[in-house]
Amino acid sequence: MLDCLQLLHFHIGSQISSTDLLQEGVYEAAQIYSELVRLGANMKVIDIGGSLGINYDGSKSGNSDLSVSYGLEEYASAVVNAIRVVCDRKSIKHPIICSESGRAIVSHNSILIFEAMDAAAPKIPAINQVNIPFIMEGLSEDARADYCNLSEAAMRHDNETCLFYADQLKQRCVEQFKEGTLGIEQLGAVDGLFDLVTKTIGASEPVRTYLVNLSVFSSIADSWSIGQVFSIVPIH
């Protein structure tokens, strides 16, 4: 039966971030291929699965699952070189190399359209809605000092300093909340104050949260999709 065996097929993993990793995997597979030849298999084809990654964030850094540090040419060279080195060393005929890239083909050519059921914008309070005495009640000395510095900076129209103290105040309040010395209502009020400051000085991005029904993903039978990156683009 061994002479019927012609193809070695494998898949190193999806979204391989660098050609070094790719080459390492293909090199090992090529060793297996050459051993099969030595054992008498009638080997002709190596199918390298996929692994050709996508530059989702455009950085080409390969530092995370969002990018790869190579292009199609480098991917192909890494694969061909790894197989060639092993085959030449063992004086084996070069195989036909197949690939079955998945995401590299599909992600550029497929879309999933779904309806946004609702959209919510953050509710930023007006200045007269921020209850300063209430906020001040539970604040630590340091947080009170931040608030005073924030007020002074606001009088001077010093936006950068405003942002600095607003941010510091918020961080301190989060710490106090974690320690249990600040209530959730006060933390919420400080959050509102921070949003008001960033909006007033033009440092906030207008963010809207869209509510969509994505239960479609939980009904996809292939567990491969869990934890993968799906790019999302709104269509108006």
Ligand X SMILES: Cc1ncc(COP(=O)(O)O)c(C=O)c1O
Stretch of 50-58, 69-77, 121-129, 145-153 lying at the interface with ligand X (CB under 6 A): 50-58
Q: Of 31 and 101, which has the nearer Cβ to ligand X?
A: 101
Decide whether 117 or 226 has the Cβ nearer to ligand X.
226
Q: Which of 19, 103, 135, 187 binds ligand X (CB under 6 A)?
A: 103
**Candidate list 49, 95, 138, 192; residue touching ligand X; CB under 6 A:** 49
Instruction: Tell me the CA distances in angstroms from 21 to 24, 32, 71, 111, one per residue in order.
Output: 5, 17, 14, 30
Of 106 and 116, the one with the shorter C-beta distance to ligand X is: 106
170 binds ligand X per the rule CB under 6 A: no
* Interface size with ligand X, residues (CB under 6 A): 12
Q: Is 131 in the site for ligand X (CB under 6 A)?
A: no
Site string (185-224) toward ligand X, x via CB under 6 A: ---------------------------------------x
